[in-house]
Amino acid sequence: MRKIATMENTPALGSPSRLSRWLGAEKHHNVTRSGRLMTTSVTWPLIIFNGLMPAFAATTALEEILLIQRPWFWSVGAMVMGMVAGLAMYLLLTYRPLARRSVVVLCGLPWLLLGVIVLLAFAQGILAGVGRFAVAALVVPAAGPLTTIGRWYVGAGFALLTSIPVILLASQAMAFYVVLMFTTTHSSMWYLAIVDELEEAQQIRAELAVVDERLRFSRDLHDVVGRWLAVISLTAETASELATRGDERTIAQTRRIQELADEARRDVHSLVAGYRQVDVQRELDGAAGLLRSVGAEVSISVRGTYGDDDAELFTAAIQEATTNILRHAAPTRVDIAVDHRCLIVTNDGVLEEGTPEAMQSIDGGHGLIGLAERARAAGGSLVHYCQGNSFVLQLDLKGTS
């Protein structure tokens, strides 16, 4: 089992604790952080690239206007519209709900206004030479965001319409440049949409990691609590029978129930506090003590070595087998054998065929189903079957080597 920390000692997300790892905060943090880094690395180049176009156009317009000594408001207007257009493109590229038509239209409007200003200046002879590039750089990218609405022909038609004045006032080469700039801007919008979808996928992945960690914690908690409840229930049943007969051992059994409850509380607290280490030998000793307390003879055999991942599954299997024996069997002998990467638990307490307890013992119940899924996920297998009057549980992890 993994170690977790208490809620009181849980630090900030920037330094995830053991509890936050159990609840999935660390995985969520790492996954979303990697997604944000990737999104930023792709988005900022697009922002800079598209933002430089209106800045270049505004600077060109300002230069041309100053050379012919036009009124000052032309210069101010070019500068303001250039900054507004750059800000609009920044919002368009960074604002998440790109699919909203109102956002697309509002962000694309400054491009249209700035394009109109430059076209008017060009038509009046204010812009010449390099000023023609300002026309293409400003007017055509405005059509790119329109394609994000979901109708590519809207943007294509707009690009065609804006190409007409360029063809009339400039040249066919400049018209080609218009189409090229439209394609570039549209490609940027499309690529950014892909990045946005990838970021959503990263978020879903982070949420699944949280669910996975919580399931692991709940599974371990179920194993610990279920085993202790089975032992306490059996001890209480024994105490009840002794009390019915007026046996003096009733008091001792009652005290034993209290001791078991205290041990269970400490075990659960250790699990939550993060100090409950995976120890197969300790689990074997604990299982042997519990089984001997119900009158069963226990034999334990350990051969070979196993890794930490094997130890976690072995511990879960020992807990599940012990719980099932206490609940559904009446054994006189239990054999537990660990042979390298294989665990076999055998008990001779199979109940009479046809009883509910016997059927549940054979079917395995939810605990064994979950354990089998964990074994398959690790590349191993879990089987359980009846062999004469004995019930055998076998966990084999040799296939994972």
Q: What is the pLDDT of residue 31?
A: 43
pLDDT at 351: 64
Given this model, what pLDDT does residue 76 score?
A: 54
Question: pLDDT per residue over 106-165, tens digit each?
Answer: 455 555 555 555 555 554 454 444 444 444 444 444 444 444 444 455 555 555 555 555
- Indicate whether 173 and 296 sit together in one domain: no
Given a contact cutoff of 8 angstroms between Cβ atoms, the answer to whether 8 and 274 are in contact is no
Strand partners, 329: none
Say if residue 198 is in the same domain as residue 90. yes
pLDDT at site 71: 57
The reply to whether 38 and 133 lie within a common domain is: yes
Please identify, among 174, 203, 232, the residue that sits at the C-terminal boundary of a domain.
Answer: 203
DSSP state of 295: T
Domain count, the chain: 2
pLDDT at position 186? 61
Query: Cα–Cα distances in Å, from 250 out to 244, 247, 264, 326?
Result: 9, 6, 21, 20
Please identify, among 183, 203, 223, the residue that sits at the C-terminal boundary of a domain.
203
Same domain, 78 and 199: yes
Rounded Cα distance, 370 and 68, in Å: 82
Let me know whether 188 and 303 are in one domain. Answer: no
pLDDT < 70: residue spans in the chain? 1-190, 192-193, 273-277, 351-366, 399-401
Distance CA 105, CA 140 (A): 15
Comparing CA positions, the residue from 333, 275, 268 lying closest to residue 300 is 333
Ordered DSSP codes for 332-373: SEEEEEEETTEEEEEES----TTSHHHHHHHH-HHHHHHHHH
pLDDT, tens digit, 9 for 90 and up, residues 53-78: 555 555 555 455 445 555 555 555 55
- Evaluate whether 57 touches 134 at the Cβ level (below 8 Å): yes
Which residues are within 8 A (CB) of 218 and not within 5 positions of it... i.e. 6 or more apart? Answer: none
At residue 74, the pLDDT reads 53
Q: Residue 369: inside a domain, yes or no?
A: yes
For residues 336 and 298, give the distance between their C-alpha atoms in angstroms, rounded to a whole number: 8
Structural domain that includes position 118: 18-203
Kindly report whether the global pTM for this prediction surpasses the value 0.75: no
